[in-house]
Structure 1
Amino acid sequence: MFIHPLSDVHSKNIGLRTKIWQFSVILEKAKIGSNCNICSHTFIENDVIIGDNVTIKCGVYIWDGIIIEDNVFIGPNATFTNDKNPRSKKYPEKFLKTIIKKGTSIGANATILPGLIIGEYCMIGAGSVVTKDLPAYSIALGNPAKITGKIDNNHD
């Protein structure tokens, strides 16, 4: 495991061969698998589970309630939300769960709204705004994101 000295990592639940780069903040209860790459300027809250072989590029914030399965790629500045009705100083008792299934790729600056399930091996285009669940192998683009195609089963 590599933790850059300019990061702020409180979690002890980080797998082997994971790299965490500068200016990243990882809270105490976050769980991160093995062989992940957490790039700079990333924030990961407590109620977060990240699988193995995950890449999270720069400027991504992973909020409470987000589950990211194995082999997921999250492009720079992708945005996750976890509250459908946010208000200052008013917090839900429990945040909505958002699940990113294994093998999915999320393009740069895409936004994922709360409480969604993104199926296995989906491809979400850069700048897309995902407002609904996506079935496995979907290619989704636009605002709001619409399914424009399917990934074949070889997962490439």
Structure 2
Amino acid sequence: MGERFFHKLALVESDDIGEGTRIWAFTHVMKGAKIGKYCNIGEHCYIESGVIIGDYCTVKNGICLWDGIVLEDYVFLGPCAVFTNDKYPRSRNKDWELRKTLIKRNATVGAGAIILCGIEIGTYSLVGAGAVVTKSVPDFAVVVGNPARVVGYSCTCGKVILRMSEKGKFKNAKVICPKCSSEFLYKNGSFLPISSISTEHRK
């Protein structure tokens, strides 16, 4: 069983933190936050009550996570990525609406990216550094820019294997990752791993 590590300069008020998780200096984890096992939480982070972080996640330095934000397992958040939970904030507003954000399993959010609230970041997707994400990101998609747009799709290993400029020649065709040989199908605007393609998708 892996021992947890909390730096002596971290303020950890939550009791719901999994084995093997490491929390570094000047990070504040509030009571009511949940962090899974074998996570790495960098320096100068703030994790509010109501945040849920799955297992094996990496939260790099300078990130604030607010109530309503959920990270599934194996999520990577690059340094200084920005999250919100209120679409129309005011300093004092009793009627504000909390909008939840879900970062799905194995997703990567690049350094300095801004993730607006009320959306989902798809499994194995890649959000480029500095992107401003205003709407949900499909599974495996690579998004960049302001506002963020889909420029391609990535393999589970992280390599970009389909660029939107090439999508015509891959329509309804198998796409093979040159790095790890995983196989995908681009069909009807979706990028699907071969192993999960149902009979319906094959029609």
TM range (shorter): over 0.9
In structure 2, the residue matched to 1:29 is: 32
Contact 1:103 1:155 survives alignment (8 Å): no
Q: How far does the alpha carbon of each residue in 1:69-89 deviate from its partner, in whole angstroms, 9 at most, with x for none? A: 000100000000110000002
Three-state SS of the structure 2 residue aligned to 1:13 is coil
Q: Which amino acid aligns with 2:84?
A: T
- Aligned residue for 2:52? 49
Q: Which amino acid aligns with 1:114?
A: C
Change (3 A) 1:47 1:92: farther
- Total equivalences in the alignment: 155
Residue in 2 that maps onto 1:114: 117
Report the Cα distance in structure 2 between the residues aligned to 1:155 and 1:133, rounded to whole angstroms.
Answer: 22
Q: Deviations over 1:24-71 (max 9, x none)?
A: 000000000000000000000001100000000000000010000000
Q: Distance in 1 between matches of 2:125 and 2:5?
A: 29
Alignment partner of 1:67: what SS? Answer: strand
Show the counterpart of 1:146. Answer: 149
Aligned partner of 2:68: which letter?
Answer: G
2:135 aligns to what? 132
Offset, 1:16: 0.3
State TM-score, norm by structure 1: 0.96
Are the aligned partners of 2:144 and 2:150 in contact in 1 as well (CA < 8 Å)? yes
Aligned AA for 2:24? W
More helix by share: 2
**In the alignment, which of 67, 70, 75 is matched to residue 70 of structure 2?**
67
- After TM superposition, where is structure 1 displaced by more than 6 Å over at least 4 residues in a row? none
Distance (Å, rounded) in 1 between the aligned partners of 2:70 and 2:136: 14
Match of 1:98 in 2: 101
Letter matched to residue 131 of structure 1: T
Note if contact 2:86-2:96 (Cα within 8 Å) is conserved in structure 1. no
Q: Is the 8 A contact 1:80 1:114 kept in 2?
A: yes
**TM-score normalized with structure 2 length:** 0.74
Counterpart-to-counterpart distance in 1, 2:117 and 2:108:
17
Name structure 1 gaps, 5 residues minimum: none
Task: Please give the secondary structure, in 2, of the residue aligned with 1:14.
Answer: coil
Q: Which residue of 1 aligns with 2:87?
A: 84
The structure with more radius of gyration: 2
2-side partners of 1:91 and 1:80: how far apart? 21
- Cα offsets for 1:107-140 (capped at 9, x unmatched): 0000000000111011000000000001100000
Counterpart amino acid of residue 93 in structure 2: K
1:18 aligned to which of 21, 25, 32:
21
Higher RCO (CA 8 Å, separation ≥ 6 residues):
1
Determine what percentage of the aligned residue pairs are the same residue. 48
Whole-angstrom CA distance in 1 between matches of 2:109 and 2:78? 6
Q: Distance in 2 between matches of 1:87 and 1:67?
A: 23
